[in-house]
Structure 1
Amino acid sequence: MKKAENIIVGISIGDLNGIGSEVVLKTFEDTRMLELCTPVIFANVKQLSFIKRNLNLEINLQGIDRLDQLVLGKVNVLNVWREGFDLNLGTNDDKVGEYAIKSFVTATQALKEGKVDVLVTAPINKYNIQSDTFKFPGHTDYLAQELEGDALMFMVQDNLRVGLLTDHIPVSEVAKHLTEELIVKKIETIKQSLIQDFSINKPRIAVLGVNPHCGDGGVIGNEDDAILKPTLKKIFEKGTLVFGPFPADGFFGSNQYEKYDAVIATYHDQGLIPFKTLSFGNGVNYTAGLNKIRTSPDHGTAYDIAGKGIADYNSFKEAVYLAIDIFHSRNQYHEISQNPLKIRPKQEFSKKGE
């Protein structure tokens, strides 16, 4: 197993006019983080040094031009571009979006090639990243194309885990996307992630209904009775501990979620609103179901506070912790799969020194 400091965490810098650079630099200003991993930020060292000085941060940046120059135990910055350009913090700028994608695409390629072990992505602006060569709604869709597996948005904060059957689609289209095939695939992805990424051998999964009160017997829509209930029954009969559908309105307020290892919402806001309310800025967006590990903070570019030095970096730090923990969990899972007699107790790998 890799030593902690030898775990290479690739970081795409996101929108430089937002708070991404600030939360990344604040996270690794704490030198204890370098006992857990070696970060490599895909950006430009001169620009990050400028931002560092503006924010009065005490952090040493190691500029490199190739990944084979990476220095373990240092905060490395891979120069993905050389040219300088003006930053106008707090504004939407297509040029900045272009560099955000350069960072992300280069970091993803390094992840594919095994040159970094995990990827943590700082926030992007979904509007200014669009171009003739990049036509994706965001990080997840591109990763789904580039990496093996079935990508699924999985929001995580300690033991609260919320997955989605559908994500970035209009509410008006949710019902027609809910097919038996989709439900089976998403639940299997969540189940496998809970086993290999979170070391939960027999996960219990709750599914929320699509309609208010799960349709009230067809009075408020028939999707729950016609699609969700029979599909969940089939999945349960095959050995997966899946339960529901549950009415979504009182599920989190009554703390029902605490009985389950994961909750699956049928659409984006049904899952993300309660998750972000409960996680208080410490949540992590994990892309489950892929052959590589990617996490990100649960917030956006926050243009309104960019450059003011007041951005909360806890969510980004938690994203780094989670990526490292999942990296270790997957290694143990594969080791045990190859040698079932060699079973180790679950360990806490991250948050060392806190």
Structure 2
Amino acid sequence: MEEKMIRVAITQGDTNGVGYEVILKTFSDPAMLELCTPIIYGSPKIAAYHRKALNLETNYSIINKAEDARDGKLNLLACFDEETKVELGQPSAEAGQAAFKALDRAMTDFRAGLYDVLVTAPINKATIQSPGFHFPGHTEYIETSVGDGNKALMILMNESLRVALVTTHLPIKEVSKAITKEAIMEKATIFHKSLKRDFRISNPRIAVLSLNPHAGDDGLLGSEEKEVIIPAIEELEKQGIQAFGPYPADGFFGSNTYDYFDGVLAMYHDQGLAPFKTIALESGVNFTAGLPIVRTSPDHGTAYDIAGQGKADENSFRQAIYTAIDVFRNRKNYDEPLTNPLPKLFHEKRDDSEKVRFAIPKAKEQQS
């Protein structure tokens, strides 16, 4: 039986940035259409403007609803008809609203089951703000829209490193009070489950970073390690989650200690993302774990400074598509045996009352 093509929804992002450039460059390679069925949520007029400005030859088919998407084609779903002024490299309210309209339509279509995974092009977190979008970023908006009450976890990843965050888009002055035992345990548990289900790592090892320099120096430089982080790690260990630390971030990344772990849990945004982006270069992907939807994005922003110049590297966006497809398949393979579990592996026919000899224990994360 031929496997159904995975439908990849792609939101256009900020229309004055490099979103369309990395999208069109990615699908200039015909091999990408053999891997998935892409559906760009955007505007045909804006897409045509970018294609002409960048002198790209990538073709696309315009559709009005996701049901009309065709395999073997780059499908562009027209989300709105209004004229939108494109000012390459400039933030504008118009570009922000164009990004929101595409994202909003994509959320509606996911709830209707019209695609499998979502890849989002970068937005401007300031210009997208509106009555319909009052969130710090994509992650929080998607969690609220289609999370079904589940909590999201931001993971930055490439082939060799996965960094998750306890806190995301918070001012530094608010980070310390947001670092609680409960928050660390919640994020670490989501991380653990994601590493098993989304990445098929049977017994993941998670490194937990400290909050303060030198891991607090036994309380001299801060008490969060002794009072919050270490108790959280000890409790996680009791629950069967392999968590280690806390490790000072500078020495941890500087000595490549991350090579010994399947994931790294950072306390705040820049603590995790600054070293990650230095290590990952153009191969990094932002993956939102913990939600029913599989959502990824490139690990760069709108890149206004090079928008419209043909300089944007599409590799991170391409990797985001690869990752979304891999995670979708991993989840399907992981969930399939749990849908109809075998009650036993062996049973002697001559004695129906005999107890099952080989029971299949449920995974810990499946227990309520």
Which category describes the TM-score, using the shorter chain as reference length?
A: over 0.9
Shift, 1:112, TM fit: 2.4
The letter for the 2-side match of 1:49 is A
Over the residues paired in the alignment, what is the CA RMSD in angstroms? 1.5
- Deviations along 1:52-86, whole A, 9 cap, x unmatched? 12222221110011122111110000000112232
Shift, 1:338, TM fit: 3.0
What does 1:1-354 correspond to in 2, within 5 Å? Answer: 3=3, 6-146=5-145, 147-148=147-148, 149-338=150-339
SS at 1:29's partner residue? coil
Shift, 1:340, TM fit: 5.7
Give the Cα separation in 1 of the matches to 2:2 and 2:224: 47
Contact 2:46 2:86 (C-alpha < 8 Å) held by counterparts: no
Contact 1:8 1:118 (C-alpha < 8 Å) held by counterparts: yes
Give the Cα separation in 1 of the matches to 2:184 and 2:178: 10
SS at 1:275's partner residue? helix
Q: Tell me the number of residue pairs that the alignment of Structure 1 and Structure 2 aligns.
A: 341
Unpaired runs of at least 5, structure 1: 342-354
Unpaired runs of at least 5, structure 2: 343-368
Give the Cα separation in 1 of the matches to 2:2 and 2:8: 13
The letter for the 2-side match of 1:126 is K
Contact 1:112 1:292 (C-alpha < 8 Å) held by counterparts: no
Shift, 1:91, TM fit: 0.4
Give the Cα separation in 2 of the matches to 1:298 and 1:184: 25
Contact 1:49 1:61 (C-alpha < 8 Å) held by counterparts: no
- Deviations along 1:303-339, whole A, 9 cap, x unmatched? 1110011110111000000000000000000113235
Give the Cα separation in 2 of the matches to 1:236 and 1:307: 50
* Identity between Structure 1 and Structure 2 (%): 49
Contact 2:284 2:299 (C-alpha < 8 Å) held by counterparts: yes
- Deviations along 1:109-152, whole A, 9 cap, x unmatched? 21222111000000001111111222111111101111222101
Contact 2:85 2:94 (C-alpha < 8 Å) held by counterparts: no
Give the Cα separation in 2 of the matches to 1:165 and 1:54: 41
Give the Cα separation in 2 of the matches to 1:228 and 1:259: 20
TM-score by length of 2: 0.90
The letter for the 1-side match of 2:3 is K
- Deviations along 1:128-183, whole A, 9 cap, x unmatched? 11112221111111011112221011001112000001111111111211122111
Contact 2:84 2:98 (C-alpha < 8 Å) held by counterparts: no
Give the Cα separation in 1 of the matches to 2:136 and 2:232: 29
Give the Cα separation in 2 of the matches to 1:46 and 1:173: 42
The letter for the 1-side match of 2:121 is A
Contact 2:15 2:46 (C-alpha < 8 Å) held by counterparts: no
Which entry has the higher C-alpha Rg, 1 or 2? 2
Q: Which moved more, 1:208-217 or 1:177-186?
A: 177-186
Shift, 1:2, TM fit: 7.6
Give the Cα separation in 2 of the matches to 1:23 and 1:2: 30
